Amino acid sequence: MLQLNGFNAWITIDGQPVPEHQVDISADQTSVTCWVASELGKNFSVHWQNVSSPRDVAGYLRMDGEFCAGRITYAGLAAAAQFPRPETVVRGVSDGPMLKPFVFSALETSDDDALLAGPAQPDLGLIALKITPIRSLGQKQEPNNGPWTTLAQQTVHERSKKAVTQQIGLGEAQYDPEGTKPLVTVVRTGPDIVHFSWKYRPLDVLRANGIAPPAPLTANLKRKADADDDADDSDADADANSPGPLPQSKKEVKPKKEPAEKKPKRIVKHETIDLTDDAEPLPVIKREKKKARTQTSTKGEVIDLT
């Protein structure tokens, strides 16, 4: 969970919080950034809480640089709530009474050089949340028809993807029990309070770059130890079932070589809002081992029976 300036924010996949790696807070204490592991084909949600801010705020959410959702949190409701404080959740893009969930999708690549001349995509692989203080101007009359964005699948040149292999897409539409919400017009009342940023990559990419810890070795060691035990048991059975010593001839028989010893293995109520500013309107948004056994053998003594 990221924490800064009176707000908490985190991402969940299948309802479980995603571990954050290499959390970094800016020198001016206004933004916090981290890395998270994305899972291809998995739905995810973005959550945040107003823990101690005394102001009404709006949260603006962007995926891969594209605005896709917004919510209002009223300070009075947050202050009156008992712990744990209610959280704001964005699970996807609303389209009337339906919701299309956010999903990690494969990034399309091409060798078409025309793509190299296209616009740069610096925010590809980035989930960003901005918290801004606002003042509500009241509800608007027109309905919220949505959707805010389609998060269309992007295609990039294979030489310019820079280890980004996934992007954010939208899953199959599903009924949203919270339904369509009214539009509300708000204006900004001050500078941004905090920026939260999650840079997402597949887990193996994060491990290969030393961002996430390596995979645990316990499972591999256990499988190897079990295999060694099976081999030892087979040797013991063979010794138990082998015939006794054969009669010796006058010719001296070379003693049996001893086997080498085996080494041990080691929700605050939300509204849809229209953000307008006296100078410049803001976008419309929603409120809302074991040790191996050692085999030993005893040398047989050679007897001359003459």
Check residues 298 and 91 and name the one with the higher pLDDT: 91
Q: What pLDDT, in 10s, does the model give residues 93-120?
A: 887 788 999 999 988 776 665 655 555 5
More confident of the two residues 289 and 231: 231
Q: Per-residue pLDDT averaged across 57-62, rounded?
A: 95
With CA atoms as reference, report the closest residue to 91 among 4, 200, 174.
174
More confident residue, 82 or 86: 86
CA distance 201 to 69: 22
CB count, 10 Å around CB of 161? 16
What digits encode the pLDDT tens for the residues 190-242? 999 999 999 999 999 999 999 999 988 765 555 566 666 655 555 545 454 44
- pLDDT (0 to 100) of residue 300: 42
What percent of the chain shows pLDDT beyond 90?
Answer: 37
Query: How many C-beta atoms surround the C-beta of residue 122 within 10 A?
Result: 9
Q: What pLDDT band is residue 134 in, cutting at 50, 70 and 90?
A: very high
Distance, in Å, from the CA atom of 250 to the CA atom of 303, rounded to the nearest integer, reads 8
Q: Say what the pLDDT of residue 200 is.
A: 96
Q: What is the pLDDT of residue 70?
A: 86
Name residues whose C-beta falls within 8 Å of residue 218's C-beta, 6 or more positions apart in sequence.
none
pTM of the shown model = 0.69
